[in-house]
């Protein structure tokens, strides 16, 4: 809720304006979060540029299922690589063309990199990947020797 405030202008008249305290708090929070950006860049691992998208890694008896959030990214802009047990997803989210004035810019654009080291050996010849509705899904089968087995207690 905005509270009324008075302001005197140069013509010796009083004008009533509405103050929005939440807008000021939001502005301060944005400034504080941006304050740490230069420090974050200094401590990032060498060779790691851009941002890391959000992801889930699910393990079943036979597979790993990795889901990476990539809204607005085209499949031509994504590279998926597997080396040993490491899965790497790299690419770029581009700024879309705008017609009007951009009043708020909170979505991250630029290069991204998501890497995960999986605990078992992978069957790299049978990996399946798809990109639908802004989510990249990578299904990675385990090798036959790496499949897990549940042990019953006696």
Other C-beta atoms within 10 Å of 121: how many? 13
Q: Answer whether residue 46 shows pLDDT above 80.
A: no
Q: Note the pLDDT of residue 124.
A: 86
Domain 49-146 fold is: Immunoglobulin-like (2.60.40)
Residues sharing a CB contact under 8 Å with residue 107, sequence separation 6 or more, in sequence order: 72
Q: What is the mean pLDDT of residues 94-122?
A: 86
The residue extents of the domains of the chain are 3-42, 49-146
Cβ-in-10-Å burial (0-12, 13-18, 19+) of 134 comes to exposed
pLDDT at 117: 92
Q: List, for residues 119-131, the tens digit of each pLDDT value.
A: 888 888 899 999 9
Sign, CA dihedral 70-75-76-80, equals positive
């Amino acid at each position: 809720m905005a509270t009324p405030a008075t302001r005197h202008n140069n013509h010796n008249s009083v004008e009533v304006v509405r103050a929005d305290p939440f807008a000021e708090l939001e502005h301060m929070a944005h400034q504080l979060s941006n304050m740490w950006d230069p420090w974050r860049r200094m401590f990032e691992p060498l060779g790691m540029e851009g941002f890391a998208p959000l992801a889930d890694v699910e393990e079943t008896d036979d597979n790993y299922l990795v889901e990476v959030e990539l809204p607005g990214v085209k499949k031509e802009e994504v590279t998926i690589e597997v080396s040993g047990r490491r899965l790497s997803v790299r690419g770029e989210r581009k700024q879309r063309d705008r017609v009007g004035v951009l009043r708020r810019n909170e979505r991250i654009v630029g290069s991204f990199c998501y890497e995960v080291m999986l605990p078992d050996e992978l069957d790299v010849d049978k990996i399946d990947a798809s990109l639908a509705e802004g989510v990249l899904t990578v299904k990675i089968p385990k090798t036959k020797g790496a499949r897990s087995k549940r042990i019953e207690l006696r």
